[in-house]
Amino acid sequence: ILHDYAATKAAIISLTKSLAKELIDKGIRVNSVAPGPFWSPLQISGGQPQSKIPEFGQSSMMGRAGQPVELAGTYVLLASDESSYTTGQVYGVTGGKQIN
């Protein structure tokens, strides 16, 4: 496990929740998105060892890594009035893989 990466993810969750509480009186909603395995230039350029590229994302329930376009709907929803009663949440877009 990448300890520094895991620590930053935990910090983002904490920051999301604390900012949501702090800013709600100003009408500002704060949410975050926690993507699971998604293809990006990082994966090919050293984010994954080359030997693990063929199986990248296969541990998700969908059995594959996501494509960046598959994150767009979550961001659009969070930016829209459809989520006007949503704040302090972390959305896992993970292909069904559990986030902790």
Q: At residue 65, what is the residue type? A: A
In angstroms, the CA 88 to CA 74 distance is: 15
Contact yes or no for 42/35 (Cβ under 8 A)? no
Q: What is the pTM of this model?
A: 0.84
**CA 60 from centroid of its chain's CA atoms:** 14
Whether residue 58 lies inside any domain: the answer is: yes
Residues classed as catalytic: 5
42-95 pLDDT, tens digit each: 887 877 788 888 999 999 999 999 999 999 999 999 999 999 999 999 999 999
Residue that the structure tokens 């693990």 belong to:
52
Q: What is the CATH number of the domain that holds 78?
A: 3.40.50.720
Number of domains in the chain: 1
Whether residue 79 lies inside any domain: the answer is: yes
